[in-house]
Structure 1
Amino acid sequence: MVQIHSPLLSFFLLSIRFIRRFLFRPFVKKTSSERFWEIDALRGIAILLMIVYHFVFDLNYFGLYKADLDSPPVLLFLYPISGTFLLLVGISLTVSYSRAQQNLSNRKVQVKFLKRGTSVFGLGLLITFVTWVYPHDGYIVFGVLHCIGLSILLAYPLIRFRTFPLILGLLCIILGIFLRVTVMVDFPWLLWLGFVPSGFFTLDYFPLLPWFGVVLIGIFLGNRFYQNNTRKFSLKDHSQSILSRGFCYLGRHSLIIYLLHQLLIVGLLYVIQLVINGSRIV
């Protein structure tokens, strides 16, 4: 029988308790009839596929399964997932903005988005700290939560515009691709923007260029298809089907799922690795 006496396992259990106590209630909200089910469903599909990718990534990291995560098929699987997730961030911002405008003063709307952006960015900093503790190598400096949090803050002044977010979004994507392909720097201070130093390695990286551009395109689509909190296209209602309800549930709770799933996967694989190796870690 394997006995586990590990600071990592203790930290893992304490992290779960912390997230359940301090993060679960503020971010999990009751289902509202005002929500657009298709947005929740698409977000749920994206978060499910992201979990699949992270599971394979963790299997590879722990040496339980070898996979070439930089191969074209894997990247073709990963980038559409990330793009969909951030596109929906932009769409959701326009929907949330329209609802807030109907019920709150401009000052309160500003405060609402400021709190939301800083809260998500703060969770990104928590992820930075956790990955700095373990595994440390490749700890996350500017991952998806950092990107979403800062994007919310930067996008707020642009939500009311109809076409400008599309133009600026396309420019951000083009510039981001250009930076990734052609520019290499010897300093880390602009990692958040997309300037990657030589030899840089991280477990998760979503710089503003190009990913803020995807959020901006989502804002354009949100203003086009969900203007004034009203769906501007016809869509058959599948919200009550078993599959849709499952995806919608995942989509409504995507933030807490994102925070918890890696802890659970890493904890499970860590224990499996101990059992396979038959070792005792002190």
Structure 2
Amino acid sequence: MSLTIPTPSWRHYFALNPDSDRRYPLPDILRGVAIVLMMLFHGWYDLSVFGFVSMDFQDPLVRGVRGIIVGLFCTMAGASLYWTHARDFRWHALLRRQGQLILAALLLSLFSLLAYPEAWIYFGILHFFVVALLISLPLVRWPLLAGVLGAALVLAERLGLPGSDPWLHDHLQPILGLPDGSIDRMYLLPWLGVVWIGIWLARLPLLHKPIAPALHRQTRWLRWMGQRPLSLYLIHQPILFGLAALLWLLTR
């Protein structure tokens, strides 16, 4: 069963529960939870930009919430990669998805460069997924190996073992003249390992099971969001930032 569904008509994007019989509900719920948490996180950040609240990115709570959000997205990305390509590599689906991610990542870099020239996004979460999904594709045929290697990468990064440092930012950043800071910066480690763990988790029966009818109704909005992570990722921040700016103007 594949989680990659051909792009339907525009009605699909406004339907509350499209193609629910063709998808696993729990992964969509988990992605929906990640999107809700992401919106709350970015909404709080936008309010901090205009001085309504404070936000310390070194605060353990803030770092923990961000870790949960990114972890859910990475885990489900790995699982979806397995469900889509485990039997046969679907090159058309892969190229289409990679094309969408590359275009979105380039646009995000461009707009962030215009808005934050000293902290523009040169390797954010979208750039990460472009790279991580290509690196991870061969492992969909060996999910157990993916899980073992993924756990090893996460453990190596947590323990600070040699070779597990953020090479892109510590080594390439000064060579390429990239800014010291970035408003959205991702590291290959440990998150590539989390994607690989997601490939292994895709084999677990728990993720494939249907949910109770009552829970199915109660989670329909989460599943609706979980089926459109890229679209919601791209549009939610301009909307939230605009609302925060409007609030600032009204309270001046």
Relative to the length of structure 1, the TM-score reads 0.73
Cα distance in 1 for partners of 2:238, 2:180 equals: 24
Cα distance in 2 for partners of 1:171, 1:122 equals: 32
Residue 111 of structure 2 is aligned to residue 130 of structure 1: yes
Q: In structure 2, do the counterparts of structure 1 residues 42 and 184 end up closer, same or farther at CA, with 3 Å as the change threshold?
A: closer
Q: In structure 2, do the counterparts of structure 1 residues 216 and 76 end up closer, same or farther at CA, with 3 Å as the change threshold?
A: same
Could you give the per-residue CA deviations for residues 22-65 of structure 1, whole angstroms, max 9, x where no partner exists?
Answer: xx96x959424120111101110111011101111111122221
Deviation (angstroms), 1:121: 2.6
**Correspondence for 1:271 among 213, 231, 246:** 246
Could you give the per-residue CA deviations for residues 138-171 of structure 1, whole angstroms, max 9, x where no partner exists?
Answer: 2111111111122222211111113211122123
Q: In structure 2, do the counterparts of structure 1 residues 208 and 239 end up closer, same or farther at CA, with 3 Å as the change threshold?
A: farther
Cα distance in 2 for partners of 1:239, 1:135 equals: 46
Size of the aligned set, in residue pairs, is 235
Q: Map 1:37-76 onto structure 2 (within 5 A).
A: 37-76=25-64
Cα distance in 2 for partners of 1:202, 1:129 equals: 13
Cα distance in 2 for partners of 1:183, 1:148 equals: 15
Structure 2 contact 166–187 (Cα < 8 Å) conserved: no
Runs of 5+ consecutive residues of structure 1 not aligned to the other structure? 1-23, 192-196, 278-282
Deviation (angstroms), 1:208: 1.6
**Correspondence for 1:83 among 71, 78, 87:** 71
Equivalent residue, structure 1, for 2:197? 217
Structure 1 contact 86–215 (Cα < 8 Å) conserved: yes
Cα distance in 2 for partners of 1:266, 1:202 equals: 18
Cα distance in 2 for partners of 1:174, 1:125 equals: 31
Runs of 5+ consecutive residues of structure 2 not aligned to the other structure? 1-8
Equivalent residue, structure 1, for 2:121? 140
- What secondary structure does 1:159 align onto? helix
Structure 2 contact 25–211 (Cα < 8 Å) conserved: no
One-letter amino acid of the counterpart of residue 122, structure 2: V
Cα distance in 2 for partners of 1:50, 1:88 equals: 15
Root-mean-square deviation over aligned CA pairs: 3.0
Could you give the per-residue CA deviations for residues 233-267 of structure 1, whole angstroms, max 9, x where no partner exists?
Answer: x5542476442111111111221111101010111
Structure 2 contact 31–76 (Cα < 8 Å) conserved: yes
Cα distance in 1 for partners of 2:57, 2:204 equals: 36
Structure 1 contact 86–218 (Cα < 8 Å) conserved: yes
**Percent identity among equivalent residues?**
26
Q: In structure 2, do the counterparts of structure 1 residues 82 and 186 end up closer, same or farther at CA, with 3 Å as the change threshold?
A: closer
Cα distance in 2 for partners of 1:145, 1:190 equals: 22
